[in-house]
Structure 1
């Protein structure tokens, strides 16, 4: 994940819940029938939240889990502790996946095999996982390197990315060969409650959040993080997409949710204030777009903008996310007529104010 930009203009106004974060390997109740667990991640923000929902099927009481954590030995050990401890009173029957990024989906296949549970996810996220973690042309490291060179990243940096090779593929190791597809807008019954699957775009291809209107709770994944804006990258296999616009359109779907909704984010702590958070995230992107537009008073590439937007030095891994994010903002400004995209000069795309 990109070392994401902090959205702090009015973040203090969100109402946080009086529920301390659980230590790894333990659960704490956070809403009726919903338990919060937190797993470590080696990169920022250092953790991911996963959830256990009390459920019941034809065989009796069971658990439905939401997301699985990053594939590492520590997280596997924490799951083993949960399965033999706090979650041992009932079996895991189902695993819902919000999206296919490794900190959410990475242990999905392992946990499904460990518990016998079925994975449920959107088709867009499943196919993207197969592309990213498999051997399809769309996920080739060479394609990404060529895409970033087109936007000004110097050859020595793209060479470093290519030498890193298929980092995600090596890390995740395996992906499920089958799953149960969740459709946008589908209502999933969990523990007698109706949970609506709300699709979101921009951060990932077909991200799913889950909303319970009765006693309102939103398992938001990465769509409505309380203190940072999620990465909204343009990806090499759809190089002119407006990921920022897709994200901003998507979060408007949450504005109509009940004001008292408990928002359960994938990173950070649970809170109330869904409408306020939508406003904060929109304001953040509007400021970022205005900043980028102002910096393009001369022909400017995405790479030219990196040191002007990110004040700390980015390693090769972080540069991938930063480039995708900046290109997405440039594409949005270009698509809305706020910037012009110049023809390639020395093999690089540049943008300038009209």
Structure 2
């Protein structure tokens, strides 16, 4: 395994040429670990990048030195290709290294799909927040093959066509269980604000919301390292959705509150290690940009529904900068719902249900 280590400025190796984009600095200049390899990004912290299907293309996982082993933060999706990549990582100099604990930032399959496999292989305990662990366990257990009637009704109310609903129903409902290995029945709960000792260093748990129920971030303030998961991404905004399980949720409001919380509790100059994209510095700049982007979208959407009542699907053109195909329809619907729901909560729009059973939002 090749491990390249930056100095305190994160650029000891001359092959690292820092780059900047929209106020952020990328200390490694686009360098990344090869598949099946790991790359040191800070003292005692290594980066593994794994392929995932879809537009994200990859997920980042972090190996944190922990005594005679490593604490693993996120594990990738339950796919043969991903398991083979991990087998390559744990060869050579790391052949005798064990995983001391498996930490899951949040329940999404690209992050905890192989958490159970890692726990089994290394006899390692699983660490997650309660909200994330319970949500994952519920979705793994709900392995019914057919799409629930409530889901199809929800899609109809959002404005999906009959054809789109039928195509989605053909894919069934048990996809989550196929890409997430069963996890241990017991876990170690992480709580917002608690300090965790990993390898003699203190990491503070900072819980965010909006992208998922109780997303765990980890801050090593003494060494200026922040493992952000999907709570902060450098170039794209994480999906913030309202779905069938909690249709009255205020996911976007929780997202705004989490951005403000991170600005209060995490220093601006930390090295941020995101779940997707490259490590960067300039955290507060990125937080401000994400907050501003969503508030601008809200304003655009408010103006749009003032012209005439709009369905969820009518709002895609105002929220997204590309066409939404069948494969992205669910995520786009959830994100549009989060914004429309926020307009309701702020008193800027009302939802009405037509005789056709479809929701429409009207500006007030």
Scaled by the length of structure 1, the TM-score of the pair is 0.91
Alignment equivalent of 1:37, drawn from 20, 43, 48: 48
Aligned length: 340
Alignment equivalent of 1:287, drawn from 283, 296, 317: 296
Alignment equivalent of 2:136, drawn from 101, 116, 129: 129
> Bigger CA drift: 166-175 or 332-341?
166-175
Structure 1 contact 98–221 (Cα < 8 Å) conserved: yes
In the alignment, which residue of structure 1 is the partner of 2:312? 302
Structure 1 contact 11–280 (Cα < 8 Å) conserved: no
- How far apart are the structure 2 equivalents of 1:158 and 1:215? 50
* 2:62 is the alignment partner of 1:51: yes
Q: How does 1:99-114 map to 2 (within 5 A)?
A: 99-114=106-121
* Structure 1 residues 295-323: Cα deviation after superposition (integer angstroms, max 9, x where no partner): 11201010122345445443333111000
Structure 1 contact 24–39 (Cα < 8 Å) conserved: yes
Alignment equivalent of 2:178, drawn from 160, 164, 170: 170
Alignment equivalent of 2:359, drawn from 335, 349, 353: 349
Structure 2 residue runs of 5 or longer lacking an equivalent are 1-19
* Structure 1 residues 303-350: Cα deviation after superposition (integer angstroms, max 9, x where no partner): 122345445443333111000000000000111011122244421111
- How far apart are the structure 2 equivalents of 1:134 and 1:321? 22
* 2:337 is the alignment partner of 1:339: no
Q: How does 1:1-354 map to 2 (within 5 A)?
A: 11-18=21-28, 20-56=31-67, 61-135=68-142, 141-165=148-172, 166-256=174-264, 257-296=266-305, 297-310=307-320, 312-354=322-364
- How far apart are the structure 2 equivalents of 1:236 and 1:122? 22
In the alignment, which residue of structure 2 is the partner of 1:3? none
Query: Cα distance, 1:112 vs. partner?
Result: 1.2
Query: Cα distance, 1:181 vs. partner?
Result: 1.1
Query: Cα distance, 1:86 vs. partner?
Result: 4.7
Structure 2 contact 114–181 (Cα < 8 Å) conserved: no
Scaled by the length of structure 2, the TM-score of the pair is 0.89
Higher relative contact order (CA 8 A, sep 6+): 1
Structure 1 residue runs of 5 or longer lacking an equivalent are 1-9
Structure 2 contact 106–132 (Cα < 8 Å) conserved: yes
Structure 2 contact 116–181 (Cα < 8 Å) conserved: no
Question: What SS is found at the alignment partner of 2:94?
Answer: coil
Query: Cα distance, 1:175 vs. partner?
Result: 3.1
> Bigger CA drift: 46-55 or 162-171?
162-171
> Bigger CA drift: 93-102 or 114-123?
114-123
Question: What SS is found at the alignment partner of 1:148?
Answer: helix
